[in-house]
Chain A
Amino acid sequence: MLEPINVSLASLNIATLAPMLIAVLGALVILTIDLAKGGLHKSLYVMISLLFLLLDLGSLIGFADVFLKNGTVIGFFNVMLMDGIAILAQIIIVVGSMLFIPLALTSKRFHEYDYPEYFALFLFMIAGFQFMVASDNLILIFVGLETASLALYTLIALHNRHKSFEAAVKYFTLGALAAGLYAFGSMILYAISGSVEINQIATVLAEDHYSNIGYVLLGMAFMLSAFGFKLSIVPFHMWAPDVYEGSSAALAGYMSIVPKIAGFVVAMRLFEFLVHSGVVWLQVILYIVVVVTMTASNIWALVQTDVKRMLAYSSISHAGFVMAAILIGTTQANSGLFLYWALFSFTNLGSFAMLWVNRQKNLLPGQSSDHPYEKFSGMIKTMPMGAVMMALFMLSLAGIPPFALFWGKLYMIGAAVSSGYTVLALIMALNSAIAAYFYLKLIVFMFMKEPIPAYQNSYFMNASLSLKTTIGLAAVVTIFAIFAVNPLLEVITLFVYNSGY
């Protein structure tokens, strides 16, 4: 009944695993070092992680080269799929991680970074995300997803605060539910198509002329819920603010970028073929989801009193904005997604890093959260450079040209316009106006209010050279993004187009 599996080593194409394996290897190396000699300084692990991420990036660039020459590479029992979007997403993942990891080198000692396991887990997580995006196979996606998520829960908890445990538990529980939904959704798809590979499923459904449309929709409902959680789509977004608030600012920034791009890529693979096949249900659902996510989270962000929570809601909103790409489904839109996210990652990491810089060890009396707006009051007078940087990131997030995110927004709205989604384009544009309010609020506090003495010595308390470098880098990219947009766009479009999206 079952055929013996018979594959040649060449067709296995183990090389496709290289990027992930590098990350895993890095994690193992860290664990080994720790085993050999404990109590080493965190800077060592930071550098090792960076090194392996660099290697990872190198291999990805190699793959990019291959992709441009030979097109998509498939390997390892046909479960690995190194197409353009996989490569792009992995590059964003790795670069985002590389920006994040130096944030561990703070001047204050934070518990979590003293564990070598932290860095190992971090690298495992990256491998997980890489698996997730570089596959067409629902099983591997699930494995990647869970690898990454489990590592992430732990990383959050390692921050070792009351709030971070709470955040981890919440995130974990909801994640478990999402995993269940994902599994059930996959099951339904498997039941109607007999395959766990997305393009297979698509082919079967198309040949079948979607006769089982009802079941497809049910399956997609589960999948949407699962990825809605991952991408923090309203109403599956509830975890986001709490988890961001609970985790360290640096990790929160990271969470707003890397896991989401992984989620987006899977969502692209999973939903776009249906959008292209003209499944109205999905179009309608996505339309609603995009609009509601963007708008509602913006509205909630308006009323936040903590900057980190505000940024959490803002990240939700940005995710909703980018979700539109999946609804629109054109090459332009999908390229826009990557462009947006690439630019977003710098800006957002920059702004979270700014929060990280202002991290206090102990809260002041009466201070209910880590980063209330009041903390930044009058910052222009006490820390002018810091205030200018932060303002820069806020303006970029608000979509003020010529800062990084504007170009992403421009291209995304352009994509909406050229696909006839006029109303959507307008809603996207107007949401930027709502969003501008809460970004401005921070600027108002920083530039237009008087400093509150109690907070004075918390500025730059946590600053170190590597943090400043990261922020500086993010700022430079944010300001001069205008020069990067064209090359980025060309590359992205090429990759996306050649992957068939």
Chain B
Amino acid sequence: MIDHILTLLIFFPALAAMLGFVVAKDSMRAYGIAVAAIEFALSLWLWYAYDPMVSGMQFMESTPIVAAFGINYLLGVDGISLFIIILATFFTLIGIASLTETRRIKDLIITLLFLEMTMVGVFAALDAIVFYVFWELSLVPMLYIIGAWGGPLRIYASIKFFLYTFTGSLIMLVGMLFMAYFYYQATGMWSFSILEWYRLILPENFQLWLFAAFFFGFAIKVPMFPFHTWLPYAHGQAPTIGSVILAAILLKMGTYAFVRFSLPLFPDASVFFMIPIAIIAIIMIIYTAMVAYAQEDIKQVVAYSSVSHMGVIILGTFALNVEGVSGSVFLMLAHGVVSGALFLLVGVIYDRRHTKMMSEFGGLASVMPRYATIFGIMMMASVGLPLTINFVGEFLSLLGFYKQSHVLTLTAGVAIIVGAIYMLTAYKKAFFGPVTNEENKNLSDINKTEMVGLIPLVIVAIWLGVYPKPVLGPINNSVESVIQLMHDKAQSAEAKERIPDLSGKNGTISMQEAH
């Protein structure tokens, strides 16, 4: 069973979702929680069975799908994808467990379970087409969630979300086909296996074009400036659960794909585009932080803050050294936990007041102290306070990029200032001051259902901030092999220099493999 655990992980929720059609409406929530819990347990088992000392892919499965065109059902996880998978199952569980939605809950849970399948699939796929299949498929449930349970502009938002990301990924698809074609030319065989592609060394100008093609798909998903405008709408209109999953997992697909595809496939192009992308990342960080500061809707603050944080992730990714990339992968998890939690928190108040305007609130700290505390913890995590999960990622990402450029890192570091500005201001507006609005005077503090979702997130946010090692270790091992691969493949002198050579410090790698 452990040999096929990834298949199990991917298709179990889908299967359960289909069976879910039969389950009676009142019992659907329990069913959803049970399925998500089993899935989460499976993913934990995956972690348990995962050998952290091995840097390569584990639990690989391979079955030809379209042999004639080199498409294989190829799965595997390494340290980079393992935890994002766990995050996905974790958030689905939390999302369903703390679901406060009452409209058509059955449809919603079935949709969520399908979504879970696609999310796990994206991160477990090692074949570009399989990856693409799940990547695109994930849009559909999200479209439905936003469109059916969202706010007044939900249809506009959901279509925008869908079309925008779809357009980007189609360009990416063309890039993938080119990649496969180059592989075909080089070897006489079609293959979409990423691992096979890794072996390919492309001429630099090809790398640049392909990098650009992939970039569109990833950048829109992340979303990177200036492709980010679908995100505020999507978040603004989506129901809480939709925002949570979107922010926590779906956005990570883009950044994950950078690490999985762009870096190892196109090392020279990565170096070539490093500075421009870093500048985009900085624009994301500062500009969207400013936009977040100007928002009147608390959910939009969190939404724009997501973009801002994604900028740091991108920056870390393009640090092209172990510290930065590990940091960015870790930050993906961190951002998932934190922004997911923040969206859940916004949902709490939205459920009570059916508004998200900060001007409607004020003084919530005295009415809902527990809520304010958890919100405060998560806000501080979002701001990147040490000993919270975000700090580890942000610190490492910035640290990594500092190696590449001092000035840009210094500019990007403004993140910690502007982040504090919009977050603290928003918190002040909503939670501090006297309770002015009559409607707020009798709000109830968070209830058990909501606690179920939030407490584990608080625990994770602090636990991994204090002791990131169990996660950071495997990430580090896998990132090291990626970086080494990049260094070996790099052709230009600049790339060779920018991407560190780890083979010298054999100590770590060989020792780990000896284990």
- Interface residues, chain A, CB within 8 Å of chain B? 380-381, 395, 400-402, 406-407, 410-411, 413-414, 417-418, 422, 425-426, 429-430, 432-433, 436-437, 440, 443-444, 447-449, 482-483, 485-486, 489-490, 493
Query: What B residues does A483 contact at CB under 8 A?
Result: 65
Residues in B309-341 with C-beta less than 8 Å from chain A: none
Q: Is there contact, CB below 8 Å, between A448 and B147?
A: yes
Closest 9 CB pairs of A and B: A401-B133, A429-B170, A433-B167, A448-B147, A417-B177, A486-B66, A418-B181, A402-B133, A414-B177
B140 close to chain A: CB less than 8 A: yes
Report the bound CA distance from A422 to B178 in whole Å: 9
B50 close to chain A: CB less than 8 A: no
CB distance from B212 to the nearest CB of A (A): 11
Q: Is there contact, CB below 8 Å, between A440 and B177?
A: no
Residues in B448-489 with C-beta less than 8 Å from chain A: none
Report the bound CA distance from A449 to B148 in whole Å: 8
One of B104, B143, B167, B184 near A440 (C-beta < 8 A): B143
Q: Is there contact, CB below 8 Å, between B184 and A418?
A: yes
Residues in B126-148 with C-beta less than 8 Å from chain A: 129, 132-133, 136-137, 139-140, 143-144, 147-148
One of A426, A437, A486 near B174 (C-beta < 8 A): A426
Query: What A residues does B177 contact at CB under 8 A?
Result: 410, 413-414, 417-418, 425
CB distance from B89 to the nearest CB of A (A): 21
Query: What B residues does A444 contact at CB under 8 A?
Result: 147, 155, 158-159
Identify the closest chain B residue to A409 (Cβ). Answer: B173
Report the bound CA distance from A140 to B65 in whole Å: 40
CB distance from A482 to the nearest CB of B (A): 6
Query: What A residues does B143 contact at CB under 8 A?
Result: 440, 443
B417 close to chain A: CB less than 8 A: no
Q: Is there contact, CB below 8 Å, between B155 and A448?
A: yes
Identify the closest chain B residue to A426 (Cβ). Answer: B174
CB distance from B359 to the nearest CB of A (A): 29
Report the bound CA distance from A406 to B68 in whole Å: 16
Report the bound CA distance from A437 to B161 in whole Å: 11
Q: Is there contact, CB below 8 Å, between A433 and B163?
A: yes
What are 26 A-B pairs with beta-carbon distances under 8 A? A380-B148, A381-B104, A395-B140, A401-B136, A406-B136, A410-B69, A413-B173, A414-B177, A417-B181, A418-B184, A425-B174, A429-B170, A430-B171, A433-B163, A433-B166, A436-B163, A440-B143, A440-B163, A444-B158, A448-B155, A485-B65, A486-B65, A486-B69, A489-B69, A490-B68, A493-B68
Number of B interface residues, CB 8 Å? 36
CB distance from B196 to the nearest CB of A (A): 16
Query: What A residues does B166 contact at CB under 8 A?
Result: 432-433, 436
Report the bound CA distance from A429 to B163 in whole Å: 12
Query: What B residues does A395 contact at CB under 8 A?
Result: 140
Given contacts A429-B174, A485-B66, 11 further A-B contacts (CB under 8 A): A400-B139, A410-B173, A411-B69, A417-B181, A426-B171, A426-B174, A429-B173, A436-B166, A448-B147, A486-B65, A490-B67
Query: What B residues does A406 contact at CB under 8 A?
Result: 133, 136
Query: What B residues does A489 contact at CB under 8 A?
Result: 66, 68-69
Identify the closest chain B residue to A415 (Cβ). Answer: B177
B247 close to chain A: CB less than 8 A: no
Query: What B residues does A448 contact at CB under 8 A?
Result: 144, 147-148, 154-155, 158
Q: Is there contact, CB below 8 Å, between B163 and A400?
A: no
Q: Is there contact, CB below 8 Å, between A417 and B137?
A: no
Report the bound CA distance from A436 to B162 in whole Å: 9
Report the bound CA distance from A395 to B143 in whole Å: 12
Q: Is there contact, CB below 8 Å, between B68 and A486?
A: yes
Q: Is there contact, CB below 8 Å, between B174 and A407?
A: no
Q: Is there contact, CB below 8 Å, between A447 and B159?
A: no
The tally of CB-CB contacts under 8 A between chains A and B is 96
Q: Is there contact, CB below 8 Å, between B69 and A414?
A: yes
Report the bound CA distance from A230 to B137 in whole Å: 35
Where chain A touches its partner, the secondary structure class is helix
CB distance from A446 to the nearest CB of B (A): 10
- Given A401-B137, A447-B144, A448-B154: A410 touches B68 (CB 8 Å cut-off): no
Query: What A residues does B167 contact at CB under 8 A?
Result: 430, 433
Report the bound CA distance from A489 to B68 in whole Å: 7
Query: What A residues does B163 contact at CB under 8 A?
Result: 433, 436-437, 440
Query: What B residues does A417 contact at CB under 8 A?
Result: 174, 177-178, 181
Identify the closest chain B residue to A492 (Cβ). Answer: B68
Query: What B residues does A418 contact at CB under 8 A?
Result: 177, 181, 184
Identify the closest chain B residue to A429 (Cβ). Answer: B170
CB distance from A401 to the nearest CB of B (A): 4
CB distance from B206 to the nearest CB of A (A): 12
Query: What B residues does A437 contact at CB under 8 A?
Result: 159, 163
B170-189 vs A: 1/0 string, CB under 8 Å? 11011001101100100000
CB distance from A122 to the nearest CB of B (A): 35
Report the bound CA distance from A411 to B177 in whole Å: 9
Query: What B residues does A425 contact at CB under 8 A?
Result: 174, 177
Query: What A residues does B104 contact at CB under 8 A?
Result: 381
Identify the closest chain B residue to A411 (Cβ). Answer: B69
CB distance from B228 to the nearest CB of A (A): 18
Identify the closest chain B residue to A392 (Cβ). Answer: B140
Query: What A residues does B148 contact at CB under 8 A?
Result: 380, 447-448
B64 close to chain A: CB less than 8 A: yes
Query: What A residues does B158 contact at CB under 8 A?
Result: 444, 448
One of B136, B171, B174 near A400 (C-beta < 8 A): B136
Q: Is there contact, CB below 8 Å, between B174 and A413?
A: yes
Report the bound CA distance from A97 to B377 in whole Å: 65
CB distance from B156 to the nearest CB of A (A): 10
Q: Is there contact, CB below 8 Å, between A432 and B170?
A: yes
Query: What B residues does A381 contact at CB under 8 A?
Result: 104
CB distance from A110 to the nearest CB of B (A): 32
Identify the closest chain B residue to A444 (Cβ). Answer: B155
Report the bound CA distance from A482 to B154 in whole Å: 32
